[in-house]
């Protein structure tokens, strides 16, 4: 679905649904909305990150976590995360809910991210199949190395990935380790 037709779930500070609104206007006006972020690790413990396509309406060409987006009205957040993971990078990965976060960030093109994202985690060594309308490149990187890269060149990374690495690095490592121990 095209961005100008997408609708997002508007929420209050307690993540209670208020109504839905147009995705672009929600970001232009900085309205609080529900989102999700997916972190897929390979069995070596490296995080799959994606470089957003140059045509994206904000944060184009910046590195972000494996997948992110917004549930549609009346769509479960985990279902939305699994849907977008398939749409963006062609992966079907069982995801586990980790935790919620909260952040506000001023973006390019006069956009404002004001979100309560649900973070989901999974493990896969499958080869991603990139949707060129969404993603221009991928890489696998260790969390410690990613932190160093963000420190050295923050303008190359999305505001939300910087937020997760700054505010939740310990929890991200914990989820990585928990998932890897559970692997056969």
Residues marked active site are found at: 68, 115
Q: How many CB atoms lie within 10 A of CB 151?
A: 11
User: Measuring CA to CA, how many Å separate 115 from each of 2, 3, 118, 126, 128?
Assistant: 20, 17, 9, 30, 27
* Residue 41 to residue 121: CA distance in whole angstroms: 8
Q: 59 with 161: CB under 8 angstroms?
A: no
Helix (H) or strand (E) holding 50: strand 47-52
């Amino acid at each position: 679905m095209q961005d100008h037709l997408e609708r997002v779930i508007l929420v209050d500070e307690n993540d209670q649904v208020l109504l839905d609104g147009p995705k672009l206007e929600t970001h232009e006006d900085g309205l609080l909305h529900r989102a999700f972020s997916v972190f897929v690790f390979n069995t070596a413990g490296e995080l799959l990150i994606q470089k957003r396509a140059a045509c994206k309406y904000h944060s184009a060409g910046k590195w972000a976590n494996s997948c992110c987006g917004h549930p549609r009205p009346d769509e479960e957040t985990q279902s939305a995360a699994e849907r977008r993971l398939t749409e963006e990078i062609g992966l079907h990965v069982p995801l586990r809910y980790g935790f919620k976060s909260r952040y506000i960030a001023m973006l390019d093109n006069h956009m404002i991210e004001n979100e309560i994202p649900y973070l989901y985690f999974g493990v896969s060594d499958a080869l991603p199949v990139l949707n060129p309308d969404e993603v221009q490149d991928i890489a696998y990187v260790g969390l410690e190395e990613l932190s160093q890269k963000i420190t050295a060149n923050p303008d190359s990374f999305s505001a939300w990935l910087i937020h997760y690495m700054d505010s939740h690095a310990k929890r991200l490592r914990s989820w990585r380790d928990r998932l890897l121990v559970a692997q056969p």
